Amino acid sequence: MAADSARITRAAPEPERGALIVATAGGTAAEVALPKAADAAALTREAAALVGESVLESPAEGALRAWLARPVADRAAAGVLRAARHALRAAALGVDEAVALSGGWAAVPPALATEAAPAADPVAACLDPAATLVVADAATGGPEGLRDLAALARVMDVRLAIRPLRDDAAEAARATTLAAALGAAVAVPPDASAALPAPALLPEAGPALSLREVRIHRIALPLRELYVSSMYLTDRQARTLVELRCADGTVGWGEAHGGPEVFARVAALARDWIGRDLLRERVALRRRFARIVFENRNGRNGLSALAALELGAWDAAARHLGLSLGALLGDPREDGSVAIACALPAAVPGAKVTRSELMAHMADGANAERVAELAAAYAARWGVSAFKYKSAGTGADWDLAALGALRARLGPAARLRCDPNAAYGTEEARRFCLAAEPLGLEYHEDPTDGLEGMARLAAQIQTPLATNMCVVAPEHLAAAVRRGLRITVLSDVFLWGGVAGLCEMVRAARLLGLTTPAIHSFYETAVVTAANAHLALALGLDDPHPMDCGWPGVAEDIVPPDALRIEGGRLFRPAGPGIGVVPEPDRLAALATAEPVVIR
């Protein structure tokens, strides 16, 4: 859609009809009901402010927090304007509101008889330990605000029910559509006898984006340096790439870890995806994988496999609509960059070594300077000033020597973080973290294991904590808050089961008051690296912490070296539809470790 035709040119309350009309320069229009509580002056003011804005802009996260920050008297007006804008965005994209909001239906919503009115503060209602139900409507921060609320309600195990803005068929259908998209119920009067109306979906002759074929590629990425950590000692990184080919010619790309267990799960899931609509069934396919946490019988490997297919579906859907992944998430900016933090090995022995040979290398503390030399080389080449040091967990003396060398070489402005992958016991971690305080680290990532251990440690040190090991499921968010643990959740598409799962985590974490999440990354191809840039910018995860990025440490990839631009320590979001990059067949074949598996 051209930028000019996407501009909103009309936003007009019509009180006599009880409606709000919005339209774009391109002639697209939408209408929503005016809630009785909407203040006339606030409506006029909010409507005037809407004119001239892009209809494609939509908050991927934060709509509910922004709505709650408004004066109470203005909330109904602000919420209904947000609802109208969302309806207009869906119409402009040529999809129904469920697809525009979350990627289609999660489930056919049930009717829930209740007299409860929409909660004045739905976040407080969710956090009430006695609550089992929270009622909201489309004016509760707009549909995007409801999406934020749905994420929190799932974390807190509270049932969300959406009440129509008024008692008529059109608004009942809209409420049903929103509930279908969010896995919520529809709130109806206790004396209601009629069945729920069908969701307001656009008529289609058949699947808009039918998946015809899945190709699963197994590759190994050579690394510039031996990767040394408490968990790994390797000079290459195995990856699983999925290529989703649709009937209309659209191709989407996704990625997962490269182990045989993940590959097997990708293949098993892919068979069930053939023939499904990647535009309208993204949410349903995710729910089909596991309706609740217990239904995921394959743990992290299952989530990683789902993430590969789900990312590919989002890429395909965005390409089908002619949008970037960021724009599909609600951020239509064509430019944008995110600060990155490069991974550093625990040691730089200069050749492939065994664990015993590594220990001999690390017995000489002077060798820690080599880690600083590598960081200086990255800083010179890419302008990077943030680094994640991957501890081998062999002892505090080496880690302190390496971190000290990094600080001395890079200076006080460099951001340094340390990740032992929970290699230290709680007491050892306490001693190490206290000894490292003078080095001014940005944060310690998983110095010890488990929520309880991290909470005990946080109470005794000054440097903040971050994790991608002890908060890796929705229920962990609530547990962290109950324990009083202020922690940065490091999010990646693999641990959270794809784009939608990562987005839900961010929404819930921020509503719970946890520290702003950040993007976690490893040594990955340009597929996930590009997707991470879109996600970081759309979700506002580009601040305060630079995004993990292992791509500078990859010696060869499936795209040319200039496919991703890193300058001044920032990764620039690639332009173009979808994630903005496409693997080259020759490069993909050169890195392959097996023939592709084709599923039709």
Please report the pLDDT score of residue 530 as a whole number. 98
* Window from 295-304, 365-374, 558-567 with minimum mean pLDDT: 295-304
pLDDT class for 193, splitting at 50, 70, 90?
low
Tell me the residue type at 164. P
Distance of CA 455 to the CA centre of its chain: 25
Q: Does the structure show a pLDDT above 90 at 200?
A: no
SS3 214: strand
Give the pLDDT mean for 528-542: 96
Q: Does the structure show a pLDDT above 80 at 202?
A: no
DSSP-derived pairing of the beta strands 415-419 and 443-445: parallel
Percent of the chain residues past pLDDT 90, beyond the cut: 86
Q: Does the structure show a pLDDT above 70 at 583?
A: yes
Tens of pLDDT, residue by residue over 424-477, are 999 999 999 999 999 999 999 999 999 999 999 999 999 999 999 999 999 999
pLDDT class for 194, splitting at 50, 70, 90?
low
- CA dist 474 and 472 (Å) reads 7
Tens of pLDDT, residue by residue over 72-95, are 999 999 999 999 999 999 999 999
Task: List C-alpha distances in Å: 322 to 27, 281, 539, 582.
Answer: 19, 18, 20, 15
SS3 360: helix
Report the phi/psi class of residue 280: left, alpha or beta, with left for phi > 0 and alpha for psi in -120 to 50.
alpha
Task: List C-alpha distances in Å: 335 to 288, 343, 565.
Answer: 35, 25, 12
- CA dist 202 and 181 (Å) reads 14
Contact between 308 and 266 (Cβ < 8 Å): yes
Task: Write the CB contacts of 512 (distance below 8 Å, at least 6 apart in sequence).
Answer: 127, 152, 155, 477, 478, 481
Q: Any idea which residue has 């909660």 for tokens?
A: 119
| 137 vs 291 pLDDT, higher one | 137
Give the pLDDT mean for 57-81: 94
Please report the pLDDT score of residue 162 as a whole number. 97
Contact between 492 and 502 (Cβ < 8 Å): yes
pTM of the model: 0.96
- CA dist 325 and 95 (Å) reads 16
Closest CA to 33 of 95, 71, 84: 84
Please report the pLDDT score of residue 561 as a whole number. 93
Q: Does the structure show a pLDDT above 80 at 206?
A: no
pLDDT class for 184, splitting at 50, 70, 90?
very high
- HEC-encoded secondary structure of 18-70: CEEEEEECCCCEEEEECCCCCCHHHHHHHHHHHCCCECCCCCCCCHHHHHHCC
pLDDT class for 16, splitting at 50, 70, 90?
confident
Give the pLDDT mean for 356-364: 95
Q: Does the structure show a pLDDT above 90 at 38?
A: no
Q: Does the structure show a pLDDT above 90 at 293?
A: no
Give the pLDDT mean for 555-559: 98
Structure tokens at 372: 């600083």
Q: What angle do CA 149, 32, 208 make, to 5 degrees?
A: 75
Please report the pLDDT score of residue 417 as a whole number. 98
> What does pLDDT average to over the chain?
94
Contact between 230 and 425 (Cβ < 8 Å): no
Tens of pLDDT, residue by residue over 394-426, are 999 999 999 999 999 999 999 999 999 999 999
Task: Write the CB contacts of 361 (distance below 8 Å, at least 6 apart in sequence).
Answer: 347, 349, 353, 367
Please report the pLDDT score of residue 106 as a whole number. 87
Tens of pLDDT, residue by residue over 311-352, are 999 999 999 999 999 999 999 988 899 999 999 999 999 999
Please report the pLDDT score of residue 466 as a whole number. 97
DSSP 390-411: E--SS-HHHHHHHHHHHHHHH-
Contact between 421 and 447 (Cβ < 8 Å): no
Give the pLDDT mean for 296-300: 90
pLDDT class for 35, splitting at 50, 70, 90?
confident
Please report the pLDDT score of residue 198 as a whole number. 67
Give the pLDDT mean for 220-231: 96
- CA dist 440 and 417 (Å) reads 9
Give the pLDDT mean for 6-13: 91
Give the pLDDT mean for 260-278: 96
Q: Does the structure show a pLDDT above 80 at 7?
A: yes
